Amino acid sequence: MKKYVYLFSEGNANMRDLLGGKGANLAEMTNLGLPVPPGFTVTTEACTRYYQDGQVIAPEIEEQIYEAMAKVEKIVGKKFGDMNNPFLVSVRSGARVSMPGMMDTILNLGLNDVAVEGLAKQTNNERFAYDSYRRFIQMFSDVVMGIDKNKFEKILDEMKEKKGVKHDVDLTADDLKEVVKRFKELYKQEMGYEFPQDPKVQLLEAVKAVFRSWNNPRAIVYRRMNDIPSDWGTAVNVQAMVFGNMGNDSGTGVAFTRNPATGEKKIYGEFLMNAQGEDVVAGIRTPEPLDKLRETMPEIYNQFVEIAEKLEKHYRDMQDMEFTIERGKLYMLQTRSGKRTAAAALKIAVDMVAEGLITKEEAILRIDPKQLDALLHPTFDPEALKKAKPIAKGLPASPGAATGQVYFTAEEAVEAAKQGKKVILVRAETSPEDIEGMYAAQGILTARGGMTSHAAVVARGIGTCCVAGCEQIRINEEGKYFTVGDRVFKEGDYISLDGNTGYVYGEALPTQEPSLTGDFATLMEWADQVRTLKVRANADTPRDAAQALKLGAEGIGLCRTEHMFFDEDRIPAMREMIVARTEEERRKALAKLLPMQKGDFKALYEIMEGKPVTIRLLDPPLHEFLPHDDEDIRSLAEQMGITFEELKATVVKLQEFNPMLGHRGCRLAVTYPEIAEMQTRAIIEAAIEVMQEKGNTILPEIMIPLVGEAKEFKYVKDVVVRTAEQVMKEKGVKIEYKVGTMIEVPRAALTADEIAKEAEFFSFGTNDLTQMTFGFSRDDAGKFLEEYYNKNIFESDPFAKLDQVGVGKLMKMAVELGRAARPDIKMGICGEHGGDPSSVEFCHRIGLDYVSCSPYRVPIARLAAAQAKLKEKK
């Protein structure tokens, strides 16, 4: 029979896929001889089986659970369901990778109306017993039965108010008895039946709830954001309870072996005395720094530090640990690789190489390329920052600089972000329901909670700036405003957050561009030594190109020429060209554009100093350049000296039902070869002039878009070559240049061998290729893709993460066909995917020469390319 349940003593850290991260590490710690309360893990396979069986737990799994329970009972010398000396357990979820706050834990399971009395007698602590029971009822009701936990909080708050106390710990045993009574009444009212008294029923229901939570909407969103497949499932850990709420010699806390915000090598943590479980992270009371424990319980502190060091050496990585002290005895409840900010990740990786703990290659593999994004965002302009006066200060929970408009709920934040606004989410404290709002926000500000609060942990994980526990602000969620002192900030008002200092500013502060220095630069150097895939940038302007170079780009993989025509002083000439009635008129307008275009290219070449520059000929449908409402058409007609009717007719004529599949790309050059001629002339003349002026060798790569047929490519290529030769003859100079194509129409991929006979390079335009392979428009798909995620049809956005199965198959085919026809053909990718780590890895595997992405993603692509190379070796 298949084994679905493992005692902690039967597992180890390598069994993460089966036992989940938490279970595997509990097993590992157990085997290291650390003080871990005993327990067992129900495997991820049991979760998968639960879903296969139609959301029921198979009898054989149930049996294995009871067998394991019996063994643990032996170890602790108590019996589950014993009314005099009850054995209590926690039921904890744990998937292969940690998903913070996604799935909830139930503590003190096994208590009921009789056992609570037994527990009180046994421990001689009635207050403790009823505190444990009320927590259990609350967690069970919330996590297992889905009863709104606020209803319980309300009862507790009423009780505290009635008794005139501020904190839970100030309630007496009798108060808590009353709370328990009211909790059970609430349960009955909500469910229609009594709170379950049979511990076995409690246990099975809890296990099922953990399995169910794998598919709750928060978990699904998190998985999508983090590329976690839905079929992994979660494991369930059942563990003997230890109690941090037994009095003032007890407590609970969390700690990191190094500072998760900065990476500093110093143990870092928080704890609360006389508290249980999530009290530390829930922001109920403000926790104390770990250093305080050194003063109050030096032995425990020393023991803990020793364990922490042992764990870090053992795992050779920074650890995030949870511990509980029960009556002066330390227990370890969890360890895992700690989440850290990008800056901390870099520092820790570089430091650990210096300490001899890991190799450079391991350091490269340790950094999540996506996380670097956080360091590639602007920071506050130091001058402006110096002048600005903060309105409040909270904890610097997740670094970065954020400026945006204030919103008070996750939904409104998401809505505002959709409208293109920059959003600061302001909450008393965040909870897992807020996750989408947190993703949508530039920054997060909370009034409560510490450095390990939900807001802080999640923000660091997703690289969003966060200031937590800012107690000076008073939030009125219903009124949609917050106050600080006598200032009022309403929904939509601007504020700025500095995640490095914790300061909050009551205004929008200007920001500045990021740069690569320190540990970041060191790690990038290591990555460059390893990778074979080149990294270029998509850049249309000298400014973008300069930024790309600073971030390590080795060339320009895509310069979109149309962006150059939208400028106010240029668009008139462009429009003239479009509405021209004859070739002659068109050539006249193009002649006006030529010097501007040439100037743009010269500026780009000068900045790139001889590095390759791929320039794409005009691509979008022409009507994009024309005005659309009558008033604008009238004023343009006037400017151009033609009648309104005539211009209107042109606009109407250019309209298409399906412009993305319409008259665009190389089709423009087929109908108006003079456009391609002008652009080629600008490209070649600029190259010759820069060579003569600066002495750099310029190798222009002229890229023809939207090709689907070899003859079509050949036609445009002939125009380009003819013009280039003409220009060189005029100038009396010969230079090298290449003519190639985008592969973005499926037919181009299918006939890549034919096309490669003519094309000297391929660049995969995976935005259009994805759009055309799936047959849905990038601009509209967002409207229905949401349902595809919810229904598990798609796990991720194919426009963000390359569809390797379908679109990737076309790419692979095109690479093979292209190489067979022209062995030295150069190949790259210039779609959005060029900066997505898993897509970069795919590009490496199919043998592309380079990826090209937006300037800010260049470092991400450099690291992903190095990782791809290292993974290939394995």
The CA–CA distances, whole Å, from 261 to 343, 360, 400, 607, 792 equal 7, 22, 11, 36, 35
Min. distance of Cβ 378 from Mg ion in angstroms?
A: 33
Site for ligand ADP, residues 746 to 765, rule: CB under 6 A:
none
Helices (H), 531-582: 542-550, 571-579
Residues 6 or more apart from 245 whose CB is under 8 A from it?
128, 131, 132, 274, 275, 276
| Total residues at interface with Mg ion (CB under 5 A) | 2
Min. distance of Cβ 104 from Mg ion in angstroms?
A: 6
| Residue number with CB closer to ligand ADP (286 or 483) | 286
Site for ligand ADP, residues 479 to 498, rule: CB under 6 A:
none
Site for ligand ADP, residues 260 to 299, rule: CB under 6 A:
277-278
Residues 131 and 169: beta-carbon distance below 8 Å? no
| Residue number with CB closer to ligand ADP (37 or 283) | 37
Distance CA 132, CA 140 (A): 12
How does strand 494-498 pair with strand 503-505? antiparallel
Nearest to 352 by CA among 344, 290, 368, 373: 344
Q: Is the dihedral of CA 730, 735, 736, 741 positive or negative?
A: negative
| Residue number with CB closer to Mg ion (97 or 642) | 97
Q: Between 54 and 73, how does the x/- string for binding to Mg ion read (CB under 5 A)?
A: --------------------
Q: Is the dihedral of CA 366, 371, 372, 374 positive or negative?
A: negative
| Residue number with CB closer to Mg ion (277 or 469) | 277
Min. distance of Cβ 253 from Mg ion in angstroms?
A: 12
Nearest to 840 by CA among 536, 526, 439: 536
Candidates 144-152, 330-338, 531-539, 731-739 — which segment interacts with Mg ion by CB under 5 A? 330-338
Paired tokens of 506: 């009551």
776-540-738 Cα angle (round to 5): 90
Q: Between 394 and 413, how does the x/- string for binding to ligand ADP read (CB under 6 A)?
A: --------------------
The CA–CA distances, whole Å, from 302 to 34, 274, 275, 297, 319 equal 14, 20, 21, 9, 17
| Total residues at interface with ligand ADP (CB under 6 A) | 16
Q: Between 424 and 443, how does the x/- string for binding to ligand ADP read (CB under 6 A)?
A: --------------------
- Residue 689 binding target from Mg ion, ligand ADP, none, CB below 5 to 8 Å by type: none
For residue 291, give the H/E element and its range: helix 291-296
Min. distance of Cβ 333 from ligand ADP in angstroms?
A: 5
Q: Which of 47, 466, 559, 830 is catalytic?
A: 830
Task: List 406's β-bridge partners, or say none.
Answer: 424
Candidates 197-205, 329-337, 629-637, 820-828 — which segment interacts with Mg ion by CB under 5 A? 329-337
Q: Between 284 and 323, how does the x/- string for binding to Mg ion read (CB under 5 A)?
A: --------------------------------------x-
Instruction: Please report the DSSP string for 616-673 in residue order.
Output: E---S-GGGGS--SHHHHHHHHHHHTS-HHHHHHHHHHH--SSGGGSS-THHHHHH-H
Active site residue 830: yes
* 522 sits near ligand ADP (criterion: CB under 6 A): no
Candidates 173-181, 239-247, 255-263, 607-615 — which segment interacts with ligand ADP by CB under 6 A? 239-247
Alpha-carbon 78 to chain mean position: 45
In the list 334, 446, 538, 854, the residue contacting Mg ion (rule: CB under 5 A) is 334
In the list 37, 283, 394, 834, the residue contacting ligand ADP (rule: CB under 6 A) is 37
Active site residue 454: yes
Distance CA 503, CA 470 (A): 9
Candidates 38-46, 143-151, 332-340, 341-349 — which segment interacts with Mg ion by CB under 5 A? 332-340
Site for Mg ion, residues 248 to 287, rule: CB under 5 A:
none
Task: List 86's β-bridge partners, or say none.
Answer: 79
* 43 sits near Mg ion (criterion: CB under 5 A): no
Q: Which of 47, 454, 843, 853 is catalytic?
A: 454
Min. distance of Cβ 4 from Mg ion in angstroms?
A: 23
Distance CA 106, CA 144 (A): 9
Min. distance of Cβ 334 from Mg ion in angstroms?
A: 5
| Residue number with CB closer to ligand ADP (127 or 531) | 127
| Residue number with CB closer to Mg ion (322 or 803) | 322
Buried-state track 557-571, b at ≥16 Cβ within 10 A, e below 16: bbbbbbebbeeeebe
Using only C-alpha atoms, the chain has a radius of gyration, in whole angstroms, of 32
Amino acid letter, residue 853: C
122: burial class by Cβ within 10 Å (0-12, 13-18, 19+)? Answer: middle
- Residue 495 binding target from Mg ion, ligand ADP, none, CB below 5 to 8 Å by type: none
Nearest to 410 by CA among 228, 221, 224: 221
Paired tokens of 807: 């679109």
Alpha-carbon 52 to chain mean position: 30
* 73 sits near ligand ADP (criterion: CB under 6 A): no
Task: List 420's β-bridge partners, or say none.
Answer: none
| Residue number with CB closer to Mg ion (334 or 751) | 334
Q: Between 516 and 555, how does the x/- string for binding to Mg ion read (CB under 5 A)?
A: ----------------------------------------
Distance CA 687, CA 606 (A): 9
In the list 105, 398, 839, 867, the residue contacting ligand ADP (rule: CB under 6 A) is 105
- Residue 573 binding target from Mg ion, ligand ADP, none, CB below 5 to 8 Å by type: none
Min. distance of Cβ 814 from ligand ADP in angstroms?
A: 45
Describe the chain by its helix, strand, coil percentages, rounded to 5.
50, 15, 35
Distance CA 454, CA 279 (A): 11
| Residue number with CB closer to ligand ADP (42 or 242) | 242
* Beta carbons within 10 angstroms of residue 110's beta carbon: 23
| Residue number with CB closer to ligand ADP (246 or 375) | 246
- Residue 283 binding target from Mg ion, ligand ADP, none, CB below 5 to 8 Å by type: none
Candidates 226-234, 237-245, 384-392, 856-864 — which segment interacts with ligand ADP by CB under 6 A? 237-245
- Residue 144 binding target from ligand ADP, Mg ion, none, CB below 5 to 8 Å by type: none
* Residues of this chain that bind Mg ion (CB under 5 A): 322, 334
Active site residues: 454, 830
* Residues of this chain that bind ligand ADP (CB under 6 A): 37, 90, 92, 105, 107, 239-242, 252, 277-278, 322, 324, 333-334
